[in-house]
Structure 1
Amino acid sequence: MATILVTGASRGIGLELACQYAEAGDAVIATCRDPDTANALRHLSQSFENVEVQALDVVDPLAVLSLASMLAKRGDSVDILYNNAGIAIAEKVGSWTADAFSATLETNVVAPAIIMQSFAKAMSSKGKIVNISSRMGSFDFEANLGGELASYAASKSALNMLVRQVAPSLMERGVIAVALSPGWVKTDMGGQEASLTVEESVTAIRETVAKLTPAAAGAFLDYTGETIPW
């Protein structure tokens, strides 16, 4: 039985990751900002004894350190950590705001950085850290969205570089870190026109993550395991 930690697990991809790993019999630590309002996640924890829900605001470094310390004191080690929590703020060119860019970078880049740093010692010797990115973070992404999601795309490019920078240090501990695009998924963020259901995306993600080897450390992959050009 593996121990899986998922951030942003109250809905969408994070919730489905928690569901599928729980059904597989793994120990799941599912985090979200407000468990009291996360009805689907609370229902999951009531249905599966192997699901533990923890409050975590990923942009609060003290909260991140507190959770990592708690797990260390319990003697728990994490086999797979999904840095899944993220935001996307749509603003068209001409209406960009500093607040939107700052909030997006704080959640999508700074938070994963602090989480990886804080949980490095809590990972098992062959652990894996999967940072949920986006194909929009690739310079090969050519769809013209009118700059509406520029802050989101920029944050995912930064996340990819962050993973590339931290991967060698984590590999010294035996931990594989990757950036991974889940595909275009039918979630609140992806919309109902998306090509993948949440179940399809997460099923493929789990298969890809299970096959990760040290050679993949620092890579930017899609949900099927294919390398995405930077």
Structure 2
Amino acid sequence: MATILITGASRGIGLELACQYAEAGETVIATCREPDSANALKHLAQSHENVEIEALDVVDSLAILSLASLLAKRGTQLDLLINNAGVLVHEAPGEWTAEGFSATLETNAVAPAIVMQAFSKVMAEGGKMISISSGLGSFGLNIDFGGPTGTYAASKAALNMAICQLAPLFKAKGLVIAAFNPGWVKTDMGGQEAALTVEESVSSLRKSFESLSLAQSGLFFDLDGSPLPW
């Protein structure tokens, strides 16, 4: 039985990851900013003894360190860490605000990097740290340049670079670190015109996470496990 920590687990991809891993019998530590109002997540925990809910605001460095310390004190080791929490602020180029851009970078790029640093100390040998990125963050795919998701794209490109920078350190410790594009998914963020249901995306991602090897650490993948250009 694997122990899995998921950030941003109150809705969308994060909630579905928690659901599917819980149904598979894994131990799930599901985190979100406001557990008291996360009704779907609370229902999951009530129906599955293997689901634990922890409060975590990923832009709060002290909260990150506190939760990592709690896990360490009780001897919990993570087999899989999934950085899923993220935000999307729609601002067209030329109309960007410092507040919106900064908040996007902090949540989507800075926070996952700090989470990985903190929780690397409680990862099991051979553990995997996955960050949910986006095809929008790839220069090679050239998606929607000039569109209203520009700051989101920039934040995901920054996340991808952070993973490249951290990969050698963690690989030397036997930990796998990688970025994944979940596809265009029918969530609050992706909208109902998206191509994939959340169940389809997560099912494919789980298979790809399972087959990920140490040799692939530091790379960027599509949800089916195929490599993507940076």
Shared fold (TM-score greater than 0.5)? yes
For residue 18 of structure 1, what is the amino acid of its counterpart?
A: A
User: What's 1:142 paired with?
Assistant: 142
- The SS at the match of 1:229 is coil
* Structure 1 residues 148 and 41, CA gap change in structure 2 (3 angstroms): same
Q: Contact between 2:136 and 2:144, CA under 8 Å: does it hold in 1? A: no
Aligned to 2:29: 29
- 1:44 aligns to what? 44
| Runs of 5+ consecutive residues of structure 1 not aligned to the other structure | none
**Does the alignment pair 1:110 with 2:115?**
no
> Pairwise mapping of residues 16-95 of structure 1 onto structure 2 (< 5 A)?
16-95=16-95
Displacement of 1:142: 3.1
Percent of pairs identical after alignment?
A: 63
Q: Give the AA of the match of 2:140.
A: D
Write the deviation string for residues 133-166 of structure 1: whole angstroms up to 9, x where unpaired: 0000101233436431111000000100100110
Once residues 146 and 125 of structure 1 are traced to their aligned partners in structure 2, the CA distance between those partners, rounded to angstroms, is: 42
Aligned to 1:164: 164
Count of residue correspondences: 230
User: Counterparts in 2 of 1:75-224, with a 5 A limit?
Assistant: 75-144=75-144, 146-224=146-224
Contact map agreement 2:135 2:143 (CA 8 A) in 1: no
Q: 2:143, 2:86 → 1: CA distance?
A: 21
SS of equivalent to 1:101: helix
Q: Distance in 2 between matches of 1:222 and 1:138?
A: 11
RMSD: 0.9
Q: Give the structure-1-normalised TM-score.
A: 0.98
Offset of 1:18 from its aligned partner?
0.3
Structure 1 residue ranges, 4+ long, deviating more than 2 angstroms after superposition: 140-147
Amino acid at match of 1:202: V
Partner SS, residue 191 of structure 2: coil
